[in-house]
């Protein structure tokens, strides 16, 4: 796959442009709806052109409402249904919804292991996730912690066999994201 970095002034310092559609791509996002906001157009285009798209949604969205009549259980059900419908429209092949509570995502061994497992399972060529170092605009702690954990999972954890060796016993071979 050929990528080209484009230097730009302003809020986006570097942008990679792809002239080929990868075989497999993954979007790892903190909340239901983040994948569509951040990469929906690209993943939809890629899916229509044969790319296998995997989504990993890290939290349940259980706190994502300012409606005082809303309950956590109800919002989780609503967000799950919305995410499943959106993934279907976009053409997502694999949808993984992790059970972490909204607003409580931590960069710990369990979460890192989940990210490594997803990468080793779906073997993406490209991963979209949150920029953990973004300090302008919307900057939710779950986004930062997701971005940091995904970066760690990509390198070196998913790549190296000595990290998460229990996954090797499950048949999940190391994977280098290109």
**Domain boundaries, position 117:** 3-169
- Model confidence over 115-140: pLDDT tens digits? 999 999 999 999 999 999 887 777 89
Residue corresponding to tokens 């971005």: 147
Span 142-161, average pLDDT? 98
Kindly indicate the confidence band of residue 5, based on its pLDDT and cuts at 50, 70 and 90.
very low
Residue 35 lies in a domain: yes
Cα(2)–Cα(16) distance, integer angstroms:
10
Residue corresponding to tokens 């349940």: 60
C-beta separation of 120 from 96 below 8 A: no
Residue 177 lies in a domain: no
pLDDT for 1 equals 42
CATH of the domain at 111: 3.40.50.10320
Q: What percent of the chain has a predicted confidence (pLDDT) above 70?
A: 90
Residue 176 lies in a domain: no
Cα(97)–Cα(69) distance, integer angstroms:
25
Residue 178 lies in a domain: no
Count the domains in the chain: 1
Residue 175 lies in a domain: no
pLDDT for 37 equals 95
Residue 57 lies in a domain: yes
- SS3 state at 55: strand
Residue 174 lies in a domain: no
Residue 30 lies in a domain: yes
The 3-state DSSP composition of the chain as helix, strand, coil percent (nearest 5) reads 40, 20, 40
C-beta separation of 157 from 164 below 8 A: yes
Whether 3 has a pLDDT exceeding 50, the answer reads no
pLDDT for 134 equals 83
Q: Which of 63-67, 133-137, 149-153 has the highest mean pLDDT?
A: 149-153
Whole-model pTM: value is 0.89
Kindly indicate the confidence band of residue 16, based on its pLDDT and cuts at 50, 70 and 90.
low
Question: Exposed, middle or buried, 166 (CB in 10 Å: 0-12/13-18/19+)?
Answer: exposed
């Amino acid at each position: 796959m050929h990528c080209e970095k484009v230097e730009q002034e302003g809020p986006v310092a570097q942008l990679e442009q792809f002239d080929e559609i990868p075989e497999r791509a993954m979007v790892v996002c903190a909340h239901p709806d983040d994948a569509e906001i951040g990469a929906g157009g690209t993943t939809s285009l890629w899916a229509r052109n044969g790319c296998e798209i995997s989504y990993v949604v890290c939290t349940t969205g259980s706190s994502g409402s300012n409606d005082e009549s809303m309950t956590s259980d109800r919002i989780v059900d609503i967000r799950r249904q919305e995410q499943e419908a959106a993934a279907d429209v976009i053409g997502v092949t694999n949808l993984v919804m992790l059970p972490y509570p909204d607003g409580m995502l931590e960069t710990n061994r369990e979460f890192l292991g989940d990210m490594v497992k997803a990468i080793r399972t779906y073997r993406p060529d490209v991963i979209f996730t949150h920029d953990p170092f973004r300090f302008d605009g919307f900057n939710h702690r779950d986004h930062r912690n997701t971005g940091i954990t995904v970066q760690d999972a990509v390198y070196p954890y998913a790549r190296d066999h000595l990290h998460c060796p229990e996954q090797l016993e499950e048949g999940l071979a190391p994977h280098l994201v290109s």
